[in-house]
Each structure stands twice: as C-alpha cells, then as structure tokens.
Chains A and B, each alone.
Chain A
C-alpha cells in the first residue's frame, strides 16, 4: 500500500509497534503462550495432586464391579456388575426422562399457546397464569413441590387413591393400566408398521402428482384409508386381541402388574415437562403471532377452509420462527434432567456422582459425564438443525 502512495517517503514509515501486521503476530504469540502456559501450569498441579492422592487417571476401572445399588434400574443391574453397566442404566434413565419430557412438554406447551391465543378471555387468562407461574419459579423449587409435597402426601399402599383407568396412586408410585402385546400382537404391530410405510409412500407420491398435474388426487383420505385397511387386517389376523390390558392389582403389600412409575420418575417428569411447557408455550405463541396478519386474510380471501389456513399458511410460516428457539428448549430440558439428582432419581449424573464419591476416580468419571452431555447436546441440535434447514425459506 505504501508503494502506491508516493507522498509517504521511507522516512515516514510506520514504526513496527504500530504496524497492524506485526501487532497481530505479537498478539497471536502472546495469547498462545498465555493459554498454553496456564494449561501446562494446571496440568503440572494436577499430576502433583494425582500423585499425592493416589488417583486413577485411566478408564480401566470401568470394567470393575461398581458395588453400589441403583434403585429401580431401567435395565438389569446389580451392585456386582461393572461401572459401564451402571453408567448405561443412568444413561437410559436420562434418555427416558428427556425423551418423554420433550414429547409431553411440546404437547402441553402447544396446547397452552393455543389457549393463550384463544378468543375466550377466561381460557386465555388461565393459560397466562400457568405460563407466568412456571416461568418465574426455579425448576428445583417446582421439583421439590411435586416430589416432596404432592407425592409426599399421597396415601400408603393399603389406602391407594383409585382413579378411572384404573390408575392407582400411593407412596410406592403411580400404577397405570397398560396395554401389553399378546402373543399374536406381533403380527398386528408388523402390519401397522407396513401400513404406515405404505400410506406415507402413497401420500408423498399422490401429493407429488398433484403438485405437478394440479389435479385433485385425494392424497389425505387415500393414505388414511390404506393405514386403516392394514391396521384392521392386522387386528383380524391377530385374532382380535393384539393387546391385553395389564391391570394393576393388590397382592400382599404391593401392587403387581400394570406400568409402575416411581415417585421420583413421576415427580421429575411432571416438573420438567410443565416447566419447559411454559417456555415452549411462549415460543409457539410468538411464532404464530409473528405470521403476518395479511397472510391469514389473503388465505381466507382465496377461499381456503379454516383447517387449510392453519395447516398450509399459518403453521409452515410459524414453524420457521418456532424451530430454532424450540431446539434450545429441548436442549435445556435434557440438561435440566440432571436435577433429578436432588430427589434421588438415578440418571447419568446421579450415577456418576456416586461413583465419584468412591475414592479417587473423580477426573475420568467427570470427563465421561461431560462427554455424555456434550454428545447428547450435539446430537440433538444436529438432528433438529437438519430439520430446521429443510423448513427454512430457500434464499438466494
């Protein structure tokens, strides 16, 4: 640059300490040295401490017997089994509570958002109270209220509450009546899955044809009809009884059968999904309200039905706004599931914490926990971002 400007002679050359290139190189070297220096210092300290306290730094111990119990493990687990097995049990609990929590929070949140937007003043106010209540108290307080207060005061087994279903609630947990597959139920499931695939295929093909030719191909009724045919076929093939209701019954001091949710699981599930639902409701409401009102009026003006207005005009545009904040709500829910530690629901963090308390394995176990959460976060956001990219506007 200086070469092109004859007015600046070589005498006026910028001194090296003001030359941006040299400053950059200097800053680069300095920052590198500082960061690496601090890291080396920490690592030296660490090795000294490790030596002094006789700590394990490798993952070899994972195959040893864990020696601690896990209450109600989701997979077969006993204290004699390895750390890996204990860790797997914790991980499955985390995935279970997050997965079910995400589904429930999405449903409750969307319904709350719709209620909030309702033209009925009372319903809208109820939704507002629900949202503001849950958004402004800490999740841990909500969790304690559900676990210690609600589940803390339910009656003992002999005096179980009985709700229609039947659902039994007592100190040992919530017992749900649950449909279980009978021996022939497998055929039904297989046929329903095939029917589902066939109807999706029919749906996409017929809709594609409609898009090209512009002729009505009745893709929604056709695919629903196909699904119904396959399901009914499966029903008959399985002898009319693909499922059997597994009803909990009192035997001795406890209920048998049905699906049992422990108080820890139920408390965690309820507080986590209600808390996140309040945030999701605000996200969904914001997304729907952000769609331009002219879109709604234009869609009505061209004669679309109420359902078509919602499904073809409002929702596709709202989803573009909703999805990114929704992803971060899902990630929050997954991370918040670690609070289960406080009430003794043993997910991956709680299991890890017990293992840490056994001498000298803090660092590898901690690394394992961090890696687990990091990969869960990355995986969730990766999958959802693919979906997000698909529904966004295609820009230039």
Chain B
C-alpha cells in the first residue's frame, strides 16, 4: 500500500514553481549569478529603452512605408499587377484545400496568412497603394482560404488533384507573370522589371523545387557502380561545394553563355535560378547520400527477395526511408538557400534586398534613412527564415509520431 502512495506522488504533474522560487533558481542561484544578474538588468533595460526610443521616435520610416508595391513586386507594371494577385489567390486556394484535407501545420499557416491579409486590409492608414480595391482584394483572400477549406474538408476531391494543383499554380503563375509577346490581354513583361519579394520567393521556391530532384539524381550518381557516372557526380558535387555561391552565380551569368551555341540567349533571371539550383543541388545531394547510407541493407535484400526490381526497390523502399531520415537537414539547406538568394544582388538582379538598395540610392534624402531600410530588410528576412525553421521543427515532431507520412 505504501508503494501506491509513492507512485501517486510520482504521477502528480510537476507544479510550476512560484515566481520567487523561479527567480532564486534561475537568477540568484549563486553569488556569481547574482552579481551577473545585477549587472545585466540595467544593461538590458538601457538597450531596450534605446531601441524602442529609436524605433518609435527617432527613426523615419518613410523610405519603407512609401513603396509597399516596390518592395513586393519591384518594377512590375502597375496595371498588370493583378497577375500577381491571381497567383497569390491561387496559392491561397490550395493552401485552404490542403488545410481542409490534412490540418496540422497547414492550419497554422492558413491562419497566419489569413490574419496577415485581414490586418493589411483593415490598416487604419491613408496610403495611395492601399485603395479600396486593394483592400477588397486582400479581404477576399480570406474568403478564398475559407472556400478552399470547405472544398478540402467537405468534398471528396482526390489527393492527387491537390498535388497537381500545387504544381500547376506556380508553373502557370510563371507563364502568367511573363505573358506572351503577341497577347493583348497579358502582354509580355520583361524579367528585368520583376523584382522585390516576388523575385526572392521565386528564386528560393524555384531553387528548392528544382534542386531536390537534381540532388537525388546526384546522390544516386555518386553511389552508382558505374565508374563514369560516379566520378562525374563526385567531381560535380565537390567542385560546387568547394567554391562560393558568388562564383557559381558569375559562372552562370558570364561563362555559361560561352559554352552554349552563339545564338542561344538565356534570360538573366533563369540563369540566376540555374545557378541557385545547381548550388543547392550539390549540398542536397550530400544530405540525401547520408540518408541513403542510413537505409539498412536488409531492407534492400528483403525487397529483392520479394521480387522487386532495382527501380521499384529504389522508389518504394530506399528513397522514402532515406528522405525521411534527412528531412531536417534538407529543410535547413532550404533555409540557407532562401538567405543565399540575396547574393543575386551582386549580379544586378533586383530581389528584395536589391530593391531596398535601389530605393536608398534613388534619393539623397533616402540615403540618410538607410538604417531604417536595412533594419526593415533584416526583419523581413528574419521572419521568413525563422518561420521556416519553426515549421521544420513542427514537421519533425509530427513525423516522429506518425510513421505513415
């Protein structure tokens, strides 16, 4: 009977410590800690005070608030901006559908997206870019997400259609953004006019999407028993990993043209995308190779014994286990790819950072406001990468629990 009493004591959830006890344990546990705390408190207070004083009183945010569209899409013609809107709404629709179907992390993302849309639509400020139609558009995205949610949860739409949708929206989106030479409705918009967050996201998402299959191919190539394939893949991976991204960017923007037929012209943005893809693929390949090595040999032998061929073994047995094992590393790789897209500024593409720079340089008055602009850039990049790492952590724990992913 005594045993039961002890066990019950163990079962009780740990009680949250009282505030004073918490302070004693975490701030004043020893003489050294006490001294440290007493020294740190005024330092932190001063820092926070100085920062908030600057943010709310000293800083002039005009260079940031005056050009929301420039930051978002660069020089994209303002009368054609509805194309970007359509793509965004398309993405929101499928986000809603996926939320309705799978829930979980997608629910949080949908809520965040809807929240941002709602807040922007209701911002109590006068701004030329935020007229009634823009507010209505932003607000209607909320509706689109909800409609998507209903479609995903109430109807029996097949999963494969959702995947195809996710694939089609970006592909059609890029075609829509570029337009056609002959078309009157959607005239061609040169990529030199694309810019801002649009280009940053395009490069990051495109690089992630394209580098993944290339990375898998390279990883298999490096492990291949064919000496030529293996040597070529190894050389490719090691050379790319051994040089900085700037070098690869310059290689694709200057040198690549020399190795192609004289008459061929590849668009500037496409060359940047190729560089980012190749660079990221080499790193992904090494991650995936680690995953491939982690698949126990018994799995392969078992699948062969069941009569599966090489191809089936690879697709259904090896790859799923390998990719699952390296997912965290790959997501980390994608976050750094997102940050690395800023380097395209150096080859003269106006991504988000590039737009910030050109706004600063456009007016001597804005040069004095560069602190505000760069802080704004840092905050935006920070939020994006932090959310990605947060999502990856959630995904990891979700995958740890359910094996049927």
Contacts and interface: CB of A to CB of B under 8 A. Distances in A.
Interface of A: 24, 27-28, 31-32, 35, 42-43, 45-46, 48-50, 52, 55, 119-123, 126, 132-133, 135-142, 144-145, 148-149, 152-153, 335-336, 338-339, 341-342, 349, 353, 356, 362-363, 366, 369-370, 373-374, 377-378
18 contacts: A28-B226, A28-B228, A42-B259, A45-B260, A46-B258, A119-B30, A121-B27, A122-B36, A123-B40, A137-B378, A140-B342, A142-B378, A144-B357, A149-B375, A339-B244, A339-B346, A373-B242, A374-B239
B262 A49 contact: yes
A141 B381 CA distance: 9
Interface of B: 26-27, 29-30, 33, 36-37, 40-41, 44, 225-229, 232, 239, 241-247, 250-251, 254-255, 257-262, 335, 339-340, 342-343, 345-346, 353, 357, 370-371, 374-375, 377-378, 381-382, 385-386, 389
Contacts of A50: 258
Contact of B244 (A148, A362, A373): A373
A377 B226 contact: no
A148 B370 contact: yes
Q: Which 8 pairs between the two chains have the least Cβ-Cβ distance? A: A121-B26, A335-B244, A138-B339, A338-B244, A42-B259, A136-B385, A138-B342, A377-B242
Contact of B371 (A142, A153, A336, A366): A153
Contacts of A144: 353, 357, 374, 377
A349 B260 CA distance: 24
Contact of A120 (B33, B239, B243, B382): B33
A141 B376 CA distance: 10
A281 to B, nearest CB: 15
A136 B342 contact: no
A129 to B, nearest CB: 10
Given A144-B377, A339-B346, A366-B247, 9 more contacts: A119-B29, A121-B26, A122-B40, A136-B389, A139-B339, A140-B345, A141-B381, A148-B374, A356-B250
A140 B343 contact: yes
Given A122-B41, A363-B255, A374-B239, A338 B381 contact: no
Contact of B255 (A43, A121, A126, A366): A366
B346 A370 contact: no
B197 to A, nearest CB: 14
A24 B310 CA distance: 12
Contacts of B340: 138
Contact of A370 (B239, B335, B374): B239
Query: Which of A123, A132, A136, A142 has the largest count of B CB atoms less than 10 A from its CB?
Result: A136
A45 B258 contact: yes
Contacts of B378: 137, 141-142, 145
A182 to B, nearest CB: 39
A46 to B, nearest CB: 5
B243 A370 contact: yes
B37 A349 contact: no
A136 B226 contact: no
B250 A31 contact: no
Given A45-B262, A141-B381, A149-B374, A120 B247 contact: no
Contact of A140 (B247, B353, B386): B353
A46 B114 CA distance: 52
A297 to B, nearest CB: 19
A353 B348 CA distance: 14
B345 A27 contact: no
Nearest to B346: A342
B370 to A, nearest CB: 6
B44 A122 contact: yes
A31 B229 contact: yes
B381 A136 contact: yes
Contacts of A142: 378
B51 to A, nearest CB: 12
Nearest to A338: B244
Contacts of A32: 228
Given A137-B378, A140-B353, A363 B258 contact: yes
Given A24-B225, A48-B262, A373-B242, A137 B382 contact: yes
Given A119-B26, A339-B343, A35 B244 contact: no
A152 B370 contact: yes
Nearest to B379: A137
B55 to A, nearest CB: 14
A306 to B, nearest CB: 13
A109 to B, nearest CB: 17
Contacts of A148: 370, 374
B311 to A, nearest CB: 11
Nearest to B339: A138
B393 to A, nearest CB: 13
Query: Which of B225, B262, B353, B374 has the largest count of A CB atoms less than 10 A from its CB?
Result: B374
Contacts of A335: 243-245
A27 B257 CA distance: 30
A55 B262 CA distance: 14
A45 B258 CA distance: 7
Given A120-B27, A366-B250, A374-B242, A141 B44 contact: no
Given A120-B26, A362-B255, A336 B239 contact: no
Given A121-B26, A121-B27, A122-B37, A132 B242 contact: no
Contacts of A336: 244
B40 A126 contact: yes
B243 A374 contact: yes
A52 B263 CA distance: 12
A373 B27 contact: no
Nearest to B256: A42
Nearest to B37: A122
Contacts of A136: 335, 339, 381-382, 385-386, 389
A341 B246 contact: yes
Contacts of B335: 136
Given A132-B386, A141-B342, A141-B353, A45 B261 contact: yes
Contact of B251 (A28, A46, A140, A366): A366
Contacts of A27: 226
A42 B342 CA distance: 30
A288 B232 CA distance: 38
Contacts of A363: 255, 258
Contacts of A43: 259
Given A50-B258, A136-B385, A149-B371, A342 B36 contact: no
